[in-house]
Structure 1
Amino acid sequence: MPADVNALLKLPNTEAFDQWLALPGEWVEEPNVRRGGESGVKRVISAAGKMLYRKQQVGHIYRSLLHPFGYPTAMRERKVLLACAALKVIVPALVYAECRKVDGVWQALLITEALEGFSSLEEFYARGDEQLWGEALHLRVLQEVGACLARFNLGRWQHGCLRMKHVFVRVQGETIEVALLDLEKSRQRWRAKSAAQHDIKQLKRHSSWSTAQWQAFIYGYETTFGSSFKGM
Structure 2
Amino acid sequence: MNRPLTLPAREALTSTFLRWWNTQGEWVEAPNQRRDGESGVQRLQLSDPSLPALYCKRQVGHLYRSLQHPFGRPTVLRERQALSALTRIGIRVPELVYCGARREAGKWQALLITEELQGFVSLQDWYRGKLYEQWGTLIHRQLLQNLGITLSRLHHAHWQHGCCYPKHVFIKVHGKADSAWVEIALLDLEKSRRRLRRSAASRHDLRQLYRHCQDMPECDWSLLRVAYDASFANPGGVYRDAI
Q: TM-score, normalised by structure 1?
A: 0.93
- Name the CA distance, whole Å, in 2 between partners of 1:213 and 1:77: 30
1:143-184 Cα deviation digits (max 9, x unpaired): 111111111111111111111101000012321100001100
User: What amino acid does structure 1 have at the position aligned with 2:129?
Assistant: R
Equivalent residue number for residue 55 of structure 1:
57
- Name the CA distance, whole Å, in 2 between partners of 1:138 and 1:223: 18
CA contact (8 A) 2:61 2:107 kept: yes
Shift of 1:132: 1.6
1:176-199 Cα deviation digits (max 9, x unpaired): 100001100111110112101111
Shift of 1:2: 1.7
- Name the CA distance, whole Å, in 2 between partners of 1:115 and 1:134: 23
Equivalent residue number for residue 171 of structure 1:
173
Q: Over aligned residues, Cα RMSD in angstroms?
A: 1.8
Does residue 226 (structure 1) correspond to residue 233 (structure 2)? The answer is: yes
Shift of 1:210: 2.3
Shift of 1:9: 7.6
Specify every segment of 5 or more residues in structure 2 that has no aligned partner in the other structure, as ranges: 235-243
Query: Secondary structure, in 3 states, of the residue corresponding to 1:64?
Result: coil
1:111-137 Cα deviation digits (max 9, x unpaired): 101111111011122222122222332
Corresponding residue to 2:191 among 185, 198, 209: 185
CA contact (8 A) 2:124 2:213 kept: no
- Name the CA distance, whole Å, in 2 between partners of 1:4 and 1:32: 27
User: What amino acid does structure 2 have at the position aligned with 1:218?
Assistant: R
Equivalent residue number for residue 239 of structure 2:
none
CA contact (8 A) 1:2 1:44 kept: no
Deviates more, 1:151-160 or 1:203-212: 203-212
Equivalent residue number for residue 16 of structure 2:
16
Aligned positions of 1:1-232 closer than 5 A: 1-7=1-7, 11-46=11-46, 48=48, 49-172=51-174, 173=176, 174-208=180-214, 209-226=216-233
Shift of 1:80: 0.2
Cα distance, 1:195–1:19 mapped onto 2, change above 3 Å: same
- Name the CA distance, whole Å, in 2 between partners of 1:151 and 1:101: 36
Specify every segment of 5 or more residues in structure 1 that has no aligned partner in the other structure, as ranges: 228-232
Cα distance, 1:9–1:165 mapped onto 2, change above 3 Å: farther
Aligned residues: 228
- Name the CA distance, whole Å, in 2 between partners of 1:7 and 1:149: 37
- Name the CA distance, whole Å, in 1 between partners of 2:10 and 2:184: 32
Q: TM-score, normalised by structure 2?
A: 0.89
- Name the CA distance, whole Å, in 2 between partners of 1:202 and 1:213: 16
Identity across matched positions, percent: 45
Equivalent residue number for residue 230 of structure 1:
none
Cα distance, 1:125–1:33 mapped onto 2, change above 3 Å: same
